């Protein structure tokens, strides 16, 4: 057979590569972004109850009505945005499926999509698989802020969409109110769809406020917001996320969603529907993770690694310019194999593999794990 790869340069994701390497070499895994502490016992019990009650068959394709209603209630309380749960919400198999289905539904062959690097690694391949053309705009340390004039200069008559991510993976940076207003002005002027990856919406620090596109009515009217229960409730393996968008966009996304996943785990959906009714189950997540970030930073003190400010997500970037001249990939591999601590090279998130001597560490771990990691870093 003559098979021509549509993604010839794409191999196994850096997360899988580094996690596998960590396992092979017995290293502490601060590479892949997953918590190592337990999920709420109450939430697990709710799932079990729904299983015992017989809710084990297909859920409706767009999501269980009870969960969509709970999502709409949360969106109203959080962002003051009234949401028609029947027509503006889709429950997806994780945020990555939400992103894939959104781009598949809304990006056509030849459409350009603006992506800010460093970027989550699914954006670019998904755009290209659907015949779109990624337009990469490079953000630089230490603040990774967006130059909105550069964005304006990048737009052509073929530009269809802008992808944003706040709080940002891998950098921990966030978009501020002035960023959202600049984005709104550009999106409205050029008629662009905004795909807003907000999976770390609840994980934000230092009294900062999450700037969701859902808070800005004019912008929200031509945007798709993507969220993740896996990130919010420490259950990344459940792969349950959702989108919120106006009906004209949601109706198109559902067409793709129904042929990618069709529907999502029924008992988990029903359990989440009930669990969301208690705001205490998610409102304190920021302070919970800020303590972990601060604890990890305390462990880094006394080392030659320089922290880059992290205002959200559960990732911390460390500069190793004072430690080694190795490139980021080589440094991450050396640390994993020789020092038994696995990070992620930030260059993996750049289309051009830009190297700033930065490594990403996940601090969604127990204190004992973070202490061991800190001890290794202080010896380098």
Output the domain CATH number for residue 291. 3.90.1150.10
Please state the rounded mean pLDDT for residues 148-173.
98
Rounded Cα distance between 171 and 141, Å, is: 9
Please state the rounded mean pLDDT for residues 7-32.
91
Residues 277 and 288 in one domain: no
Q: Is residue 93 a part of any domain in this protein?
A: yes
CB burial string 254-288: b at 16+ within 10 A, e below: bebbeeebebbbbbbbbbbbbbbeeeebbeebbee
**Tokens describing residue 238:** 């459940």
Segment (H or E) for 270:
helix 266-275
- Contacts of residue 221, Cβ cutoff 8 Å, sequence gap at least 6: 246
Residues 269 and 291 in one domain: no
> In terms of DSSP bridges, do strands 315-319 and 306-308 run parallel, antiparallel, or are they unpaired?
antiparallel
Residues 255 and 111 in one domain: yes
Residues 301 and 352 in one domain: yes
| pLDDT tens, residue by residue, 247-266 | 999 999 999 999 999 999 99
Q: Which domain-ending residue is among 281, 297, 317?
A: 281
Q: Is residue 2 a part of any domain in this protein?
A: no
Rounded Cα distance between 114 and 54, Å, is: 45
Task: DSSP letter for 227, please.
Answer: E
Please state the rounded mean pLDDT for residues 359-370.
97
Residues 82 and 211 in one domain: yes
Please state the rounded mean pLDDT for residues 61-75.
98
pLDDT in the model for residue 12: 81
Q: What are the angstrom distances between the C-alpha of 53 and each of 45, 46, 56, 57, 275?
A: 12, 10, 8, 11, 17
| Share above pLDDT 90 across residues of the chain, in percent, rounded to a whole number | 95
Q: Is residue 8 a part of any domain in this protein?
A: no
Q: Is residue 5 a part of any domain in this protein?
A: no
Residues 244 and 337 in one domain: no
Does residue 250 have a cis bond before it (omega within 30 degrees)?
A: no
Segment (H or E) for 92:
strand 89-92
Confidence class of residue 33 from pLDDT cuts 50, 70 and 90? confident
Residue 115 φ/ψ, nearest 5 degrees: -130, 135
Q: Is residue 221 a part of any domain in this protein?
A: yes
| Share above pLDDT 70 across residues of the chain, in percent, rounded to a whole number | 100
Q: How many CB atoms lie within 10 A of CB 18?
A: 25
Count of structural domains within the chain: 2
Residues 251 and 192 in one domain: yes
pLDDT in the model for residue 104: 98
pLDDT in the model for residue 337: 97
Q: Residue 15: pLDDT above 90?
A: no
Rounded Cα distance between 250 and 108, Å, is: 16
Q: Is residue 1 a part of any domain in this protein?
A: no
- Cβ-contact 203, 231 below 8 angstroms: yes
Please state the rounded mean pLDDT for residues 283-308.
97
Confidence class of residue 65 from pLDDT cuts 50, 70 and 90? very high
Rounded Cα distance between 69 and 63, Å, is: 10
Q: Which domain-ending residue is among 234, 260, 281?
A: 281
Q: Is residue 310 a part of any domain in this protein?
A: yes
Q: Which domain-ending residue is among 233, 256, 281?
A: 281
Residues 327 and 201 in one domain: no
Residues 266 and 338 in one domain: no
Q: Is residue 208 a part of any domain in this protein?
A: yes
Residues 152 and 19 in one domain: no
Residues 94 and 189 in one domain: yes
Rounded Cα distance between 196 and 120, Å, is: 12
Burial label for 209, CB within 10 Å (0-12, 13-18, 19+), is exposed
Q: What are the angstrom distances between the C-alpha of 122 and each of 14, 26, 205, 332?
A: 11, 28, 26, 21
pLDDT in the model for residue 2: 87
pLDDT in the model for residue 206: 96
Output the domain CATH number for residue 270. 3.40.640.10
**Which domain covers residue 340, as residue numbers?**
14-32+284-379
Residues 321 and 276 in one domain: no
């Amino acid at each position: 057979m003559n098979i021509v790869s549509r993604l010839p340069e794409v191999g196994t994701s850096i997360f899988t590569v580094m996690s596998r390497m960590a396992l092979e070499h017995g290293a502490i895994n601060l590479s892949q972004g997953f918590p190592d502490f337990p999920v709420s016992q109450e939430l697990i019990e709710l799932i079990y109850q729904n299983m015992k009650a017989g809710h084990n068959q297909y859920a409706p394709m767009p999501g269980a009505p009870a969960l969509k209603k709970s999502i709409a209630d949360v969106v109203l309380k959080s962002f003051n945005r009234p949401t028609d749960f029947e027509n503006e919400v889709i429950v997806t198999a994780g945020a990555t499926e939400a992103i894939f289905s959104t781009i598949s539904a809304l990006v056509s062959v030849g459409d350009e999509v603006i992506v800010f690097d460093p970027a989550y690694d699914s954006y670019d391949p998904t755009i290209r698989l659907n015949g779109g053309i990624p337009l990469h705009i490079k953000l630089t340390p230490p603040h990774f802020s967006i130059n909105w004039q550069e964005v304006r200069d990048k737009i052509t008559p073929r530009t269809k969409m802008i992808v944003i991510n706040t709080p940002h993976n891998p950098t921990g940076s966030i978009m501020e109110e002035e960023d959202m207003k600049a984005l709104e002005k550009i999106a409205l002027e050029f008629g662009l769809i905004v795909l807003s990856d907000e999976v770390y919406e609840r994980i934000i620090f230092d009294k900062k406020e999450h700037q969701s596109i859902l808070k800005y009515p004019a912008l929200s009217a031509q945007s798709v917001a993507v969220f993740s229960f896996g990130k919010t409730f420490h259950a990344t393996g459940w792969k349950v996320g959702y989108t919120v968008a106006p009906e004209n966009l949601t109706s198109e996304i559902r067409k793709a969603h129904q042929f990618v996943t069709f529907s999502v785990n029924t008992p988990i959906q029903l359990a989440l529907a009930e669990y969301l009714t208690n705001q205490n189950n998610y409102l304190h997540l920021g302070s919970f993770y800020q303590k972990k970030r601060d604890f990890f930073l305390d462990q880094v003190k006394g080392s030659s690694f320089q922290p880059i400010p992290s205002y959200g997500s559960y990732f911390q970037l460390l500069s190793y310019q004072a430690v080694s001249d190795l490139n980021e990939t080589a440094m991450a591999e050396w640390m994993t194999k020789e020092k038994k601590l696995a990070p992620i090279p930030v260059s993996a998130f750049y289309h051009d593999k830009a190297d700033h001597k930065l490594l990403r560490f996940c601090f969604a771990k127990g204190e004992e794990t973070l202490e061991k990691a800190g001890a290794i870093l202080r010896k380098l």
